[in-house]
Structures are given as structure tokens and as C-alpha cells.
Amino acid sequence: MGLTKIEEKDNPKYKKFLNYIDENLAKKGEVKYSHKVNMDKKVVDFFSEKGEFLLAENLPKEFLDIVDRSIRVAVNKEEIKKTIKNIYEDPYTYVSISKYKENLILFTEENMVNRGKIKNTMSVVLKRELTDNEKNELIYLKNNNNDEFFKKYRTYIESETTKTYINDKLELFQEIKGLTETTILYKKNEVSKVIVEYSDNNRINSVVKSYRNDRLLNETFFKNKDIVLEKEYYTSGKLAREIPLKDGLINGEAKDYYENGKIRSTTNFVNGDIDGVVKEYNQAGKVIKETLYKNGKKVN
């Protein structure tokens, strides 16, 4: 990444916070702190377990831009300002970090309580304890390159699990484990799940699987972050359709299947238009109809 060694003195504002964590982990094997949004100062304030101020971290520009736009378009600007402050300033986030010495793994749990109605918990298990240089590199990336920060951060974690509760009922579950990311949304009579499986740590090639009530609905295949293939499934789990894509358009031979696995039809696409012979088959595999298309139009 072209980064030179980053010493802790290059990040003086983090020194007190990092020392607090390191000292408590060394003495007690555990550290607790909290943080709270300050909308007036546009920062997140961090406090020790006893309430001592440790650090003020600037709120992300993207977040502040969204807030500013919301205020600008509001009819009652003062009212929307109060609403935003109530939403983001009310809750404290409490964090505890425990060190499992036998495995050199850090465990982090974060709880956020918003007026007793919403609670988010996060647990992060690191593969090992990070060195000072690694910590400072993450700090540097967080302040300068978000994409590289998350890419690097994920190489250090064994797993990251986030849960959201509303009125003590689990509503959202998210987990990063190795090269797999899982998101589960719980509704009244439905459970929706999305699983992302990456091919390597570069995370540019992947398969995204979507489920409803544990039934596979579709799969989307990415190469270099672009969609190259989509698959749809019957309620039985059998493959129903394959659609090849390039640059956001259907390109290549699309296939529809009978539930018994036999091909129902084949259709060739060029840049989103049907081009070529569309073949339809019966369930025995015999061609029953052929139709010629050119540039998306049927040829008589």
C-alpha cells in the first residue's frame, strides 16, 4: 500500500485512548469504555469506565452531509435539528474488550441502548493481538482510505457478529467470518437471509445467495465487482434459470429449466437484445419450437 512505518507519536490524539486500552488489558485482562455522539461539535466523544474523557473522533463527512441535506430541505429546520439530536445523542455505546491470553485473541462486545427500545450488540474476535504498528496503520487508513481500512481490518478478524434488537426481539443479525458475510432480517412471518461468499481476501469476486425462510431464491455471481451471472431457483430448490451478464446487460446464452433439470429454452443475447435462434424444448429434451431474432426483433 506504499505506507511507511507509522509511529504512535504521529497520532497524538489517539495516544491516551490506546494507552488506556493497553494498560487495562495488561493489568486486568479487560477494558471498558463508552462513546457518545456530540452533534454540536460533530464528533464522537470517548470516555473511560469512570467517565474520564479519552478521545474525540470526527464524525464521517458522508454522515454529516446527509444530516445537512435533511436540515436544508426541512420546512421546520429547528424541529428537524432537535429530532436528529434526540436520535443520535441520546444513546451511549458501551464497549468491553477482553483478552484471551491462551489464544492471543481479543473479544469485543458493544451495546447501544436507545431509550430502552433499540439495542445493538457487536462482538469481534481477532485472530491475534495487534502490534502497535498494525494499530496505527489501521488508524491511518481509517482517516485516509476507508476501502483499504476495511480490507486490512478484515484480515485481522476471526469473526464479527452484530445483532439488533427492537423491544428485546431480534430483528437483524450480521456476521463476518472468514470470507463469508451473512445478513439475516427477521420479520413477523418471514426470515430473509443474504450470504456473500468471497473467493479471496481481495473481495472482488464473490457469490451472493438470497434466501427466504431458508429457501434459496437466487444466486448472483460477481467478477471484479461486476455481475457476470444470475441464477434463479424453484421453490423446490431446483435451478430454474441462468442469465449471463456483461456491463449490466444480458450477454450470452440464457437458459430456462424444467423442475426436473431438463432445459426448457435457450436464448442468445447480445448487449441486452435477443439475437439468434430461440429454442424451446419439451420435458423429454426434444426441440419443439425455434424462433429467429435479430437485434431484439423477431425475424419472420
When pLDDT is averaged across residues 192-211 and rounded to a whole number, the result is 94
- Give a yes or no: residue 218 inside a domain: yes
Top pLDDT among 151 and 269 is at: 269
The residue out of 205, 226, 247 marking a domain boundary is 226
19-33, 252-266, 267-281 — which is least confidently predicted? 19-33
3-state secondary structure of 213: coil
Q: Print burial letters for 57-68: b (CB count within 10 Å at least 16), e (below 16).
A: eebeeeeeeebe
In the predicted model, what is the mean pLDDT of the chain?
86
| pLDDT tens digits, one per residue of 149-188 | 888 888 888 888 888 888 888 999 999 998 999 999 999 8
The residue out of 163, 193, 226 marking a domain boundary is 226
pTM for the full predicted model: 0.73
For the chain, how many structural domains are there in total?
A: 2
CA distance 289 to 293: 13
Q: pLDDT band at residue 14, thresholds of 50, 70 and 90? A: confident
When pLDDT is averaged across residues 56-77 and rounded to a whole number, the result is 87
- Give a yes or no: residue 186 inside a domain: yes
Q: Which of 292, 244, 290 is nearest to 271 (CA)?
A: 244
Mark whether 293 and 268 lie in a shared domain: yes
Number of Cα atoms under 13 Å in the Cβ half of residue 173: 12
- Give a yes or no: residue 107 inside a domain: no
Mark whether 265 and 294 lie in a shared domain: yes
- Give a yes or no: residue 55 inside a domain: no
- Give a yes or no: residue 276 inside a domain: yes
DSSP element (H, E) containing 38? strand 30-38
Give pLDDT, residue 1: 31
C-alpha cell at 119: 439495542
CA distance 287 to 262: 12
Mark whether 246 and 285 lie in a shared domain: yes
> Which percentage of the chain shows pLDDT scores above 90?
47
Mark whether 291 and 238 lie in a shared domain: yes
| pLDDT tens digits, one per residue of 124-146 | 888 877 888 888 888 888 777 77
CA-to-CA dists, residue 101 to 6, 110, 243, angstroms: 26, 21, 50
- Give a yes or no: residue 74 inside a domain: no
Neighbours of 188 (CB within 10 A): 4
Give pLDDT, residue 6: 36
Residue 229, amino acid: L
Q: Which of 220, 218, 265 is nearest to 238 (CA)?
A: 218
- Give a yes or no: residue 198 inside a domain: yes
Mark whether 240 and 290 lie in a shared domain: yes
| pLDDT tens digits, one per residue of 26-48 | 888 888 898 888 888 999 999 99
- 241: β partners: 232, 256
Residue 65, amino acid: D
Number of Cα atoms under 13 Å in the Cβ half of residue 53: 7
pLDDT above 60 (res 216): yes
- Give a yes or no: residue 257 inside a domain: yes
Host domain of residue 197: 179-226
pLDDT above 80 (res 92): no
pLDDT above 60 (res 273): yes
